[in-house]
Amino acid sequence: MASVTSALRAAAGQSTVRILLSLVVGLVLGASLAEAIFLENILAVAEPVGGIWLDALRMTIVPLVFSLLVVGIASAAGTAAAGGTAAKALGFFALFLVLSATFCAVALSAVLAAWPAPVEAVAGLREAAGASAEKLPDFPTMGAWLRAFVPTNPVEAAATGQMAPLVVFALLFGMAATRIRADLQTGLLTFFQAVMDAMLVLVQWVLWVAPVGVLALAFIVGAKAGFGAAGALGHYILLLSGVCISVTLLAYLIALAARAPLFAFARAVAPAQVVAFSTQSSIASLPAMIAGAAQLGTPERVSGVVLPLAVSLFRITSPAANLGVAIYCAHVYGVDLTAALLIAGVGVAAVISLASVGLPGQITFFTTTGPICLIMGVPLELLPILLAVETIPDIFRTVGNVTADVAVTCLIDKRAKP
């Protein structure tokens, strides 16, 4: 897994600039040729190219999410059994991941109601993406919705992309895998680890041609939405970055709950934030986080367990940011998100964030946002365009993650003391 992840990080890092350039070039070309007499001929090529690339990404979601969940849940269960500090850390991680997603569901919905995206740009994006809310089925009754979480046929759920029952089944399957005979457990988890690695390689191949797919999709958006599409993307970047910054500020409240002086905490965590901002990597920030925790008086016996575990399992901004992407897509398509749909999105966002750890942002973008969109009935067609501008929000994601890692470490240390 380590070698596969390293290769993916390198591929993702190299393709980030190319994808962003493809987005800009596609939008400019599309808007410039919007009135050209041969536009229909170009669109006849661009639409299948972009569609094929999007379908290639979609085909990885179900097997990758299922294998990630099974391996991740089994590993987390083993970690919880390894010691009281680790088990306490996992409990706090779960709590704050749910709170992060809940905050986004409430705050972003309110902000979008008060400050919606530009109407013309949204209409162009919706038309260019080629999907509409009218294709979505009506939301079922509460009883039918609750029953849908338990799949009568997991294979059918996977085949039809029903993410809620599939996630529940994967969670139960992963927990059950920790209760079987040791040799069988090792073989089973090795199989799903192999599936996960193979799917990650497949995703790496898809990302390698991402500039082509994004160029085609961006051209369609530019041709149908004009230069106004840039306004909608700018609106999206501001809102999603704002969500991540807000969650980062919530991490300071965790530090206050740990009785850490606010200015002392800010000074101690600042070096890790600088590394996170420049590298967009929580792992690269780990040495600075350890030094910051020590500066705050956290003993090594606590930070040595909690911080590596946090880097591996805890990304406090992920549920909020990933749910934020789904809510924004719903806003673009005019999908009415009921309280029940938002609750379902919060749950899936929190669970999926645990499964996507250690992977490059471009991989996790589809692995984590796709299932949330599917469970909330939101079309996926807009995700490739949003991926191209993910670099900016991802900076604030990482800064928020390392801030919360240090804050939770202080909180666990405080709870361990009499």
Residue 232 is encoded by which pair of tokens? Answer: 């909608």
Distances (CA, A) of 208 to 16, 159, 202, 205, 211: 10, 26, 10, 5, 8
Per-residue model confidence as pLDDT tens digits over 241-286 = 999 999 999 999 999 999 999 999 999 999 889 888 866 778 778 8
Q: Is the pLDDT of residue 23 over 50?
A: yes
Q: What is the pLDDT of residue 136?
A: 42
d(CA 412, CA 418): 12
Distances (CA, A) of 418 to 85, 194, 409: 15, 45, 16
Contacts of 17 (CB under 8 A, 6+ apart): none
pLDDT confidence bin for 356, thresholds 50/70/90 = low
Give me the chain's average pLDDT, please: 82
* C-alpha 371: how far from chain center: 10
The mean per-residue pLDDT over the stretch 153-179 comes to 82
Q: Is the pLDDT of residue 342 over 90?
A: yes
Q: Is the pLDDT of residue 134 over 60?
A: no
Give percent of the chain above pLDDT 70.
Answer: 83
The mean per-residue pLDDT over the stretch 368-378 comes to 88
Residue 418 is encoded by which pair of tokens? Answer: 């009499």
The mean per-residue pLDDT over the stretch 66-83 comes to 72
The mean per-residue pLDDT over the stretch 310-324 comes to 89
pLDDT confidence bin for 139, thresholds 50/70/90 = very low
Per-residue model confidence as pLDDT tens digits over 162-174 = 777 887 788 789 8
The mean per-residue pLDDT over the stretch 51-57 comes to 83
Count of structural domains, the chain: 1
d(CA 330, CA 328): 5
- Planar angle of CA 301, 302, 308, nearest 5 degrees: 105
CA-nearest of 151, 214, 211, 172 to 70 is: 172
Q: What is the pLDDT of residue 137?
A: 43
pLDDT confidence bin for 132, thresholds 50/70/90 = low
d(CA 263, CA 250): 15
How big is the chain by its Cα radius of gyration, in Å? 21
Higher pLDDT, 208 or 113: 113
The mean per-residue pLDDT over the stretch 406-418 comes to 83
What ranges in 115-153 are assigned the alpha helix state H? 119-129, 142-147
d(CA 208, CA 318): 24
The mean per-residue pLDDT over the stretch 307-328 comes to 89
143 CB burial (10 A radius; 0-12, 13-18, 19+): exposed
pTM: 0.76
pLDDT confidence bin for 409, thresholds 50/70/90 = very high
Q: Is the pLDDT of residue 142 over 90?
A: no
64: domain CATH number is: 1.10.3860
d(CA 167, CA 150): 10
Q: Is the pLDDT of residue 69 over 80?
A: no
Amino acid at 292: G
pLDDT confidence bin for 1, thresholds 50/70/90 = low
pLDDT confidence bin for 135, thresholds 50/70/90 = very low
Backbone phi and psi for residue 259, each to the nearest 5 degrees, phi listed first: 65, 30
Q: Is the pLDDT of residue 218 over 50?
A: yes
> What residue numbers bound the domain in which 151 lies?
2-416
Range of weakest confidence among 52-56, 138-142, 191-195, 346-350: 138-142
pLDDT confidence bin for 188, thresholds 50/70/90 = very high
